[in-house]
Amino acid sequence: MDVAKAMGNPLDVVRGFVPLPWLGTNTFQEACWAWRRLPQPVIAVVHGRCYGGGLQIALAADFRFATPDSEFSVMEVKHGLIPDMTGAATLSRLIGIDQALLLTMTADPVDAAYAERIGLVTEVTADPRAAAEKLADRIAARSPHAVASAKKLFDRTWQSSVRRTLAVERATQLPLIIRQALGRNG
């Protein structure tokens, strides 16, 4: 695919790759990474084929539910490209490097069962929307402050050292304990 042609103007593509200074992501990356910044959990539901940029959008969600007939492909290499909408960052958090490289370098589609087995999707079910809604209801029954803090904790520390993780954990937990002590746990 000719990305410049699809965008209309080659300069638009170049401008799209300039990181936004206040975010650290470029326009294409922000399309996915914005979900990581939300304090609320993001749940994606996949039906059918989830390839390329669509997969990168789904990978940016906190949870992914898919139908048994879904297929997934990191297909950018087929077009002489690499995943550039945070695909490398999200893949590295979900699956091992060997699987991430295999999916990226081959661009081979994988079925939902395999995707679930390697951690690409959270759950495969006949009714992924119902499963996603059930999970959303379970999470919504918890303290929104604790849920948001848990998401922030894991996002900031997933690949950090133990020392940094423990420091962030302490800094994240203290405000929650204070909220509890003041009776503001909702």
Per DSSP, helices labelled H in 95-161 are 97-106, 112-118, 128-140, 144-157
Say what the pLDDT of residue 30 is: 92
- Distance between CA atoms of 5 and 74, rounded to whole angstroms? 22
- Say if strands 110-111 and 71-73 run parallel, antiparallel, or are unpaired: antiparallel
- Distance between CA atoms of 90 and 175, rounded to whole angstroms? 28
- pLDDT grade for 166, boundaries at 50, 70 and 90: confident
Residue 162, phi then psi, degrees to nearest 5: -60, -40
Contact 110, 71 (CB under 8 A): yes
- Over the chain, what is the mean pLDDT? 91
* Residues in CB range of 109: below 8 A, 6 or more apart: 49, 51, 71, 72, 73, 75
- Global confidence as pTM: 0.86
Say what the pLDDT of residue 1 is: 45
Say what the pLDDT of residue 72 is: 98
Element (H, E) at 123: strand 123-124
pLDDT digits (tens, 9 = 90+) for 60-89: 999 999 999 999 999 999 999 999 899 888
Say what the pLDDT of residue 7 is: 59
Share of the chain above pLDDT 70, in %: 95
